[in-house]
A and B are shown apart, each in its own frame.
Chain A
Amino acid sequence: MAIKLEKVVETFYQNLEEGKIMAKKCTKCGAVEFPPVYACNSCGCWDMEWVEISGKAKMHSIVMPAALSSKPEYKALGKFAYGEIELEEGSRFNGVVRGINKKKRKEILENNKLPVSCHAVIWQRDGYKTVVFDLDEDQ
């Protein structure tokens, strides 16, 4: 398993243009790195293979955007929140989940519904596509 000088970032974004959300999976321990990187942060192995993620995820925490934590271009997201995302494949990272406002958060927290289910979508930013999540309709 030779270490390769590989354009992982460009490949990730090119796949988004083609409608695919890709990650890297460790061939030794099976851990999935999202977003994709060279080596496994669970076992240290650098033999990683490209995999497409299912998009199924859970949101474990909810922080609402505010004056300090928003930007004019985020208005296009509609109502959304930040939080800890866990992919079905196991990766955890900070992400954006659409479909949550203060009222929805209150309902989720008061009914102890965390973690809530969500799913990945490809979203157009200025000049490139990225990944955000939508709250599942039954949540």
Chain B
Amino acid sequence: MNQTKINKYARSVSIIGVGCTPFMYTVDREETNGLTEGEMFGYAALKAMEDAGVNPQDVDFYFHGEASPLNASNYLTPNIQIANWFGMKGKASIHHSEACCTGYYAIEQAVNAVASGKYNCVLSGCVEFGDSLAVPNHPYKREKVTMEKFLQTTAWLYDRAYTRSLMAGQELIYDDAAEWYKRTRGLTDQEMDDTLNWMCINNRKNASVNPLAIERTTYEELAKEKGFDNVMDYMRSPYNPKMGDFLRAGGLELKCDGAAAVIVCATDMVDKYMGNKSHKPVEVLGIGCAALEASNPHFEVRATEEAVRQVYELTGVKPEEIDLFYANDFIITSHLISAEIAGYLPYGEGWKYICEGRTAYDGDKPINTNGGRTSFGHAHAASGLADLYEAVKQMRGEAGDGQVKFDAKTAMLRGYGGAQNICTYIIRTID
């Protein structure tokens, strides 16, 4: 496939503030039912500004991400619909959607805007109502999205001319990566099944200590409730049915509602913007991007290889320098295969690390410390910035009960989505 050589930024850019809502099913609870796009995005944006120590008037521009604004919000220009909510009226903005990869391209675009020199301080935020749809012609009411409607709209992710017609590309999203990993690493069916289950268990363990996560009941607790002494017996039972060739129900995203935001500025202007804030800024060292449309064999694997190659080549960072790893795992296999491709876990051995619990937040190779898409939740566009929120909190030592057990200075985040975009970046704390 084609490759891209990326160049150094014209100037360094750093993350100085992050904000995130809880991920939730808004219509299910009285206190959240009726929340709007402006309220959700605005909360995350203002939390990020407060965290950074900036006033909305200090921010030059904002990026807005929402995966499916027409379908979920009845909006064509969603950045404008919410523009009065967070003190930036009159400032320019742009909307973008890369579906489930939106929250990763959110940082790519914000960094480029500052690195170019055009803007000094930029907000990038994302909002999604993945679990509900706006009721047409009503100012705030929403209704639950049905599975039928969800599948109808996700079909729009795939090329109409050929891919939908040939039938395979859109169906291979669920199991292609597992087939590839099992075949190329020589795992048995049982080993692959156990690995997929352990990723679910580890994600849930991480979410269980994260107050922003949507599902905090551990699989051990669920197993006990159903009379199982051993959690793996539960994971292999009809309570966790096979939904794909390899994939079980627990390995699928929990689609939900949420918003997240980040403030970035020129690194040499950090002192000006952060004022008396004491936390350390986090520099964006580099971002690698690739894309393979779903009709291409092993699209996730090949595009991840290319994006990872770019970011390592640009930054000179070695895989052994990565302390934390995040992967958009709405199909849970993603976090295994991308961590191995990135060299965060050794080739052919990653599945063992996972089955030994070493990738949970209290292990030596943490992955998705917030709980990932299967436990933190998947508010499609917002998930990527929610991962960045978690990574930054971990690197500051502000992750509470889910804090990793060592000093984490460098993290890699790998975004994936939109049939299929890949965006992989490395961030590092500035001492």
Contacts and interface: CB of A to CB of B under 8 A. Distances in A.
* Among A65, A66, A74, A82, residue most surrounded by chain B Cβ atoms (within 10 Å): A82
B365 to A, nearest CB: 28
A83 B172 CA distance: 8
Contacts of A94: 166, 168-169, 172, 176, 294-297
Contact of B172 (A63, A67, A125, A130): A63
A45 interface: no
Contact of A68 (B2, B168, B243): B243
B165 A128 contact: yes
A83 B294 CA distance: 12
Interface string A1-22: 0000000010000000000000
A95 B176 contact: no
A9 B162 contact: yes
B158 to A, nearest CB: 11
A26 interface: no
A64 B311 CA distance: 34
Given A82-B172, A94-B294, A96-B168, A63 B245 contact: yes
B400 interface: no
B358 interface: no
B165 A68 contact: no
Contacts of A93: 166, 295-297
B179 A62 contact: yes
B244 to A, nearest CB: 5
Contact of A69 (B180, B244, B295, B296): B244
If over half of B's interface residues share one DSSP class (helix, strand or loop), that class is named, otherwise mixed; here it is loop
Interface residues of A, number: 30
Contact of A130 (B165, B180, B296): B165
A70 B175 CA distance: 12
A131 B247 contact: no
A7 to B, nearest CB: 11
Pairs of residues from A and B, 4 with the lowest C-beta to C-beta distance, nearest first: A84-B297, A94-B168, A69-B171, A35-B162
A61 interface: yes
B176 A63 contact: yes
Interface in A69-128: 69-70, 74, 82-85, 92-96, 114, 125, 128
B298 to A, nearest CB: 7
A68 B171 CA distance: 8
Given A9-B161, A66-B174, A92-B297, 20 more contacts: A9-B162, A35-B161, A41-B1, A41-B2, A62-B179, A63-B171, A63-B176, A63-B179, A68-B244, A69-B171, A70-B171, A74-B167, A84-B297, A93-B166, A93-B296, A94-B172, A94-B294, A94-B295, A128-B165, A131-B166
A70 to B, nearest CB: 7
B279 interface: no
Given A93-B166, A94-B172, A66 B297 contact: no
B163 to A, nearest CB: 8
Given A41-B2, A66-B245, A130 B179 contact: no
A120 to B, nearest CB: 11
Interface in B138-175: 161-162, 165-169, 171-172, 174-175
